[in-house]
Chain A
């Protein structure tokens, strides 16, 4: 099997392909291509190299390709095998209705699905094979693509209340741990954006597409920022039971900033998290037991202490 790490997939080859396929180009245009596709110092390293390539010629301050054709590299075997593997994933059919798998016939998958075992994935993940789930997913996906207003019948997680509303879906979020899709969406009332919410795909009871294309400019990004915590949680982790290593790997999905004290062999870390995930972070920290100590902020510390106090009191009963 081919190596994953090859120059044919590298960004320098990508840059040169862009240059020859779009020639003639000025130096300024080439710089733009490099800045867009390369690394921070690629201009410095790549520009002198270009003039030495026998298939690029500089004339009148422009760079010309001497190739006869535009370069389009065929798909490689390893890429085809990966496509075959993802086509066997239960989530693949969310993206295409009735995919013609004969197109991938004769290709050996890079891996079979049962070669991987996700042993602590939650057992109540979304039912990706369900006909209606797939149908609603595609409708939401189409609405995101085309900024279409959709009418959604939704069962709320709280007491199962059913709501009906108009939404412009904006972005999916997938969690491998939960094995669930959610999506961020703007809620529309009387043609105006009322607020931004996050809905679970698995709780949708019906989706009706409208022909109405929303003319406004919904933008979820600033609202996602609003979901962030106001202050990071600060924890001190002790060099006991391999806790520092375990903690660092486990919390690597969060933005964090750590300091290690050589004298005490402890690590102090700030964890930045989404407000809605506060309880999730709290129980994750509890799972480390006495190998770490929460230092703040005060409000979070109170929540943490409350659980320990409650447990301590229960011992007496």
Chain B
């Protein structure tokens, strides 16, 4: 039985537990039945260690539940970044890290043998040149070290390039660390320059999304190279995981619902499929050899054409229904708006309507119209106007009927029309 360690080798397990504790927060130990109780205890302990007071627990009818309690508008730094700073390492890793950086700070253009000798002068055991070579290769790939080749020999130097050389405002790092894709990288920079955010806080910020950044990084690299990938997609609803061979085209983000997707070519030449990033598993055994969370395949020559086709689909999509063929559905919503006091409703229609047209029909009556491929996508938005919908009309009667039906159900739920 292995000893408990605060650090972890694989990000995927902590990712799953953190998401459960934060997003849902109602599961008890018994509900985590996919792994052993010991695994649950270890992951819970790690999360408590990383997040401190943000991790809470309570006893309920089903037992003790652990949850992460955060108001994202009150924090200045995403607490989930801490999980990214928990990678385990070997004794060799840490010794080589500090000795190589120290040796190359004092010396330039050293060969592998020279570096190995200088390291071995300082340790009680001997490092094999191959071990040192691997670390130098890894650090060269990270850009920490430069390797130059002269007459068959590699010469290594520290790449003396630092954040300060770029003259970028520390405020910018603080801001983008929280709002830009892969903000955790800004957090790494902040750690090294001892920069702390005191000026910014964020509203409507889905901090949990950072847990998908490993997957997203592999996918965007595939997009940049126009390569197909195999992803393992887990369906929470059906509780099954399936592999899909896809050509990823774009990352599609909802800032209102907190969902992030990859849009990809699925089955058929012009059919687009949408996969939620939080449903894509990472580092599955079959992908481990490549050290990627998704399996990278060959380049696909259809990328550019598909991307153009996809762009045209956005014009008639309200959300994730991305279809090229067929006729869009027409939709109209007439609203009662008090022009004197409810100007903000008209502004809402304009700013949230995603390309829809807003027109005044008569005093206090406004109409919103849009042509979309799937009216169903508007249903949640339409319901935000409950209390002022005069009429809905359009091609998709099913969606319109569902709205009326839902309102009737709600009226019953809250005591009918009695009050």
The residues of A that contact B299 with a CB separation of less than 8 Å are none
B411 contacts across to A, CB distance below 8 A: 308-309, 311-312
A residues 236-251 in Cβ contact with B at 8 Å: 242, 245-246, 248-250
Residues of A close to B224: CB separation below 8 A: 111, 115
Task: Decide if A260 is an interface residue (CB 8 Å cutoff).
Answer: yes
**Cβ A308 vs Cβ B220 within 8 A:** no
Q: What is the distance, in angstroms, from A86's C-beta to the closest C-beta of chain B? A: 4
Q: Which of B377-411 contact A (CB under 8 A)?
A: 379-381, 383-390, 404, 406-411
Among residues 252 to 288 in chain A, which have CB atoms less than 8 Å away from a CB atom of chain B?
A: 252-262, 267, 272, 274, 283-284, 286-288
A95 contacts B26, CB within 8 Å?
A: no
B 22-59 binary contact with A (CB < 8 Å = 1; else 0): 11111100000000000000000000111010000010
Residue pair A96, B168 in contact (C-beta under 8 Å): yes
Q: Which of B71, B291, B385 has the most CB of A within 10 A?
A: B71
A 287-317 to B, binary, CB cutoff 8 A, 1 in contact else 0: 1111001000000000011111111111101
Identify B387's interface contact among A3, A289, A308, CB under 8 A: A308
Contact indicator per residue, chain A 70-94, by CB within 8 Å of chain B (1) or not (0): 0111111111101101110101100
CB-CB < 8 A to B253: which residues of A?
Answer: 116-119
CB distance from B170 to the nearest CB of A (A): 9
Q: Are A100 and B167 in contact (CB under 8 A)?
A: yes
A172, B49: Cβ atoms closer than 8 Å: no
Give B51 Cβ to nearest chain A Cβ, in Å: 9
The answer to whether B384 touches A310, judged by C-beta atoms less than 8 angstroms apart, is: no
Stretch at the interface among B108-116, B205-213, B239-247, B367-375: B205-213
Given A67-B102, A288-B380 in contact, is the A42-B185 Cβ separation under 8 Å? no
* Of the residues B102, B185, B256, B351, contact of A71 by C-beta under 8 Å: B102
Pick the contact of A286: B168, B384, B404 (CB < 8 A): B384
Contact yes or no, A74 B258, CB < 8 A: no
Name the contact of B200 in the complex, choosing from A89, A171, A254 (C-beta under 8 A).
A171
> Can you show 21 pairs from A to B with CB atoms below 8 A apart?
A4-B84, A4-B213, A7-B89, A7-B93, A9-B87, A13-B89, A16-B94, A40-B50, A74-B159, A80-B143, A86-B172, A95-B168, A96-B169, A115-B250, A119-B354, A121-B255, A173-B73, A245-B237, A260-B62, A308-B386, A315-B407
Total interface residues in chain B, CB < 8 Å: 140
Q: A2-B142, A76-B144, A311-B407 are in contact. Are A224 and B386 (CB under 8 A)?
A: no
Specify which chain B residues have a CB less than 8 angstroms from the CB of A249 in the assembled complex: 23, 206, 257-259
- B417:A252 contact, CB within 8 angstroms: no
Interface residues of B (CB under 8 A from A): 5-7, 11, 22-27, 48-50, 52, 58, 60-62, 65, 67, 69-74, 82, 84-89, 91, 93-95, 97-99, 101-102, 105-106, 122-124, 141-144, 158-163, 165-169, 171-172, 175-176, 179-182, 184-186, 188-189, 191-192, 198-208, 213-214, 217, 220-221, 223-224, 236-237, 250-259, 291, 314, 317, 319, 336, 347, 350-352, 354, 379-381, 383-390, 404, 406-411, 413-415, 417, 419
Which chain A residue has the least Cβ–Cβ distance from B123? A54
Instruction: Given A10-B7, A45-B5, A260-B62, check contact A117 B180 (CB 8 Å).
Output: no
Contacts known (A85-B180, A259-B60, A311-B386); A53 close to B95, Cβ less than 8 A: yes
In the complex, chain B residues whose CB is within 8 Å of the CB of A8: 97, 142, 144
Which A residues are in CB contact (< 8 Å) with B162?
72, 74-75
Residue of B nearest to A305 (CB): B414
Chain A 35-50 interface mask (CB, 8 Å, partner B; 1/0): 0010111100100000
Do residues A256 and B124 form an inter-chain contact, with CB atoms below 8 A?
no
Choose among A9, A69, A91, A104 the residue that contacts B166 (Cβ–Cβ < 8 A): A104
Q: B48 to chain A: which residues have CB within 8 Å?
A: 40
**Nearest chain B CB to A103 CB, angstrom units:** 5
Chain A residues with Cβ under 8 A from B385's Cβ?
Answer: 283
Whether A82 and B185, one on each chain, are in contact in the complex, defined by CB atoms closer than 8 angstroms, is yes
Complex alpha-carbon distance, A165 and B123, angstroms = 66
> Which residues of chain B have C-beta atoms less than 8 A from A55's C-beta?
95, 98-99, 102, 122
A85 contact set on B, CB distance < 8 A: 180-181
Count of chain A residues with Cβ under 8 Å from any Cβ of B? 119
- Asked if B351 and A6 sit within 8 Å, CB to CB, the answer is no
* B254 contact from A3, A39, A69, A120, Cβ within 8 A: A120
Instruction: Name the distance in Å between B391's Cβ and chain A's nearest Cβ.
Output: 9
Contact call B217/A172, Cβ cutoff below 8 A = no
Q: Which A-chain residue is minimally distant from B52 (CB atoms)? A: A40
- Which applies to chain A's interface (DSSP): helix, strand, loop or mixed? mixed
Asked whether B250 lies within 8 Å of A116 as measured between CB atoms, the reply is: yes
Which partner residue on chain B sits nearest A66 by CB separation?
A: B122
Closest 3 CB pairs of A and B: A77-B143, A307-B387, A7-B89
Q: Which residues of B contact A73 (CB under 8 A)?
A: 101, 144, 192
Q: Kindly list chain A residues whose C-beta atoms are within 8 Å of the C-beta of B255.
A: 118, 120-121, 176-177
With a cutoff of 8 Å between Cβ atoms, the chain A residues found around residue B314 in the complex are 117, 119
With A249-B23, A289-B409 as contacts: A77 and B319 at CB distance below 8 Å: no
Contact residues, A103-128 vs B (CB, 8 A): 103-104, 110-111, 115-124
Which residues of the partner chain B approach A305 to less than 8 Å between Cβ atoms?
Answer: 414-415, 419
Q: In the bound complex, do residue B220 and residue A111 qualify as a contact, i.e. CB atoms below 8 Å apart?
A: yes
Q: Provide the residues of chain B in CB contact with A311, threshold 8 Å.
A: 386-389, 407, 411
Given contacts A174-B202, A258-B67, A307-B387, contact A12 B161 (CB under 8 A): no
Q: Are B319 and A120 closer than 8 Å at their CB atoms?
A: yes
